[in-house]
Amino acid sequence: MAVKIIGTGSYVPEKILSNADLEKIVDTTDEWITTRTGIRERHIADDDTATSDLAARAAIRAMENASVTPEQIDLIIVATATADTIFPNTACRVQNKIGASNAACFDVSAACTGLIYAMEIANGMLNASPRKYRYALVIGSDKLSSITDWTDRSTCVLFGDGAGVLVLKNDPESGADSNFVVESEIGANGAYMELLKMPAGGSAMPASHETVDQRLHTLKMAGKEVFKLAVGGMVDACKHILAASGVTPDQLAWVIPHQANQRIISAVAQRLDASPERVFSNIARYGNTSSASIALCLDELNSAGKLHKGDLVLLTAFGGGLTWGAMLIRW
């Protein structure tokens, strides 16, 4: 018995916000954004498009790619930091939009590490209960533009909207040694919770006139501190799982770090001694799409025929919490 990825899909909104567009909104330049982050443009959803809409469109594409019907799906997990509402969860809304009426549904909150957390949970559930969970949708979807402070140049240039989906299948015919997760590690350190957060809107600080006036329903980040912790956290997690699996960097078909900043991606690649042409990056076109970022990369590679059966792919991410994770997968 083995769990496998049998399809991928993604969706980004049509509207593109370029660095030149941002120059008209805040005191910034294309040159600053490009050299400090590697980002050239990002996709931004309309006001009437929610995180679940992005997810549902990506899910439909992923199910087509996997040749499964919505009724076959037993489980929908949505990783997101921008849930449509605190409840009902975003996964229930996706279920309703795609007609996956047989699926159990819940969200995972681990900010930009959300997809790896969701993959870890789905892998565990499908392996533990193969009769109950045969097919799962693991979704990373975020509409970060809805919590962006468009007056804060240090954050608003970084983020974009999008969704990516993986279809998992529990295949009783396959041997356990072909399970898609070869090795994984997820971790967190709540002592760093203040570095990256949206202060208001939850039970700790419910919405009020003051929270709106003070822009506390938007993302706040201590960029420099997060940068350092991000590189260290991802590199350590990757080294642990490479050592545990006995896989060396030259055996990796791809390394896919969370797309937060090109300088972070490059620093991680360098410290892992991974060859640069094997380190995937599409941040120039999408910016940081949080939970969606790694799934967007996987779908782009899969659609381009650049993932082959048996390929070893190293995923790693970090995000608010702080949370981090790494997963070595076999395609």
Q: Based on the shown chain and the rule CB under 6 A, indicate whether residue 15 belongs to the binding site for ligand ACO.
A: no
Q: How far apart are the first and last CA of the chain?
A: 16
Site for ligand ACO in 103-162 (CB under 6 A): 111-112, 153-154, 157
DSSP code string of 157-219 = TTB-EEEEEEEEEEETTS-GGG-SEEEEEEEE-GGGGGGEE--SSSTTS---HHHHHTTTTS-
Residue 72 vs 262, nearer CB to ligand ACO: 262
Q: Based on the shown chain and the rule CB under 6 A, indicate whether residue 290 belongs to the binding site for ligand ACO.
A: yes
**Helix 293-303 with 114-128: angle, nearest 10 deg:** 70
Near ligand ACO by CB under 6 A: residue from 28, 49, 96, 266? 28
Q: Based on the shown chain and the rule CB under 6 A, indicate whether residue 39 belongs to the binding site for ligand ACO.
A: no
Mark the segment that binds ligand ACO (CB under 6 A) among 27-35, 50-58, 63-71, 307-315. 27-35
The partner residues of 220 in beta bridges, in order of sequence, read: 197
Q: Give yes or no for a contact between 159 and 288, defined as CB atoms under 8 angstroms apart.
A: yes
To the query of whether residue 96 is one of the catalytic residues in this protein, the response is: no
Distance, CA of 242 to CA of 237 (rounded, Å) = 9
Near ligand ACO by CB under 6 A: residue from 224, 244, 251, 306? 224
Residue 70 vs 164, nearer CB to ligand ACO: 164
Q: Based on the shown chain and the rule CB under 6 A, indicate whether residue 17 belongs to the binding site for ligand ACO.
A: no
Distance, CA of 220 to CA of 201 (rounded, Å) = 14
Residue 111 vs 136, nearer CB to ligand ACO: 111
Polymer length in residues for the chain: 331
Mark the segment that binds ligand ACO (CB under 6 A) among 26-34, 68-76, 238-246, 301-309. 26-34
Q: Based on the shown chain and the rule CB under 6 A, indicate whether residue 227 belongs to the binding site for ligand ACO.
A: yes
Supply the minimum distance, in Å, between the C-beta of residue 90 and ligand ACO.
16
Using alpha carbons only, what angle is made at residue 295 by residues 290 and 299, rounded to the nearest 5 degrees?
A: 140
Distance, CA of 261 to CA of 158 (rounded, Å) = 8
To the query of whether residue 112 is one of the catalytic residues in this protein, the response is: yes
Q: Where are the alpha helices (DSSP H) in the chain?
A: 19-23, 30-37, 51-66, 90-98, 114-128, 153-156, 209-213, 223-245, 262-272, 283-286, 293-303
Q: Based on the shown chain and the rule CB under 6 A, indicate whether residue 228 belongs to the binding site for ligand ACO.
A: no
| Residue 42, CB-side half-sphere exposure with 13 Å CA sphere | 33
Q: Give yes or no for a contact between 52 and 84, defined as CB atoms under 8 angstroms apart.
A: yes
Supply the minimum distance, in Å, between the C-beta of residue 10 and ligand ACO.
18
Which residue among 92, 258, 261, 302 is the active-site one? Answer: 258
Mark the segment that binds ligand ACO (CB under 6 A) among 44-52, 239-247, 257-265, 272-280. 257-265
Q: Give yes or no for a contact between 156 and 288, defined as CB atoms under 8 angstroms apart.
A: no
Near ligand ACO by CB under 6 A: residue from 319, 325, 327, 329? 319
Q: How many helices (H) and strands (E) does the chain have?
A: 11, 13
Q: Based on the shown chain and the rule CB under 6 A, indicate whether residue 197 belongs to the binding site for ligand ACO.
A: no
Near ligand ACO by CB under 6 A: residue from 226, 231, 242, 268? 226
- Contact residues for ligand ACO (CB under 6 A)? 28, 32-33, 36-37, 81, 111-112, 153-154, 157, 196, 221, 223-224, 226-227, 230, 260-261, 264, 288, 290, 319-320
List active site positions: 112, 258, 288
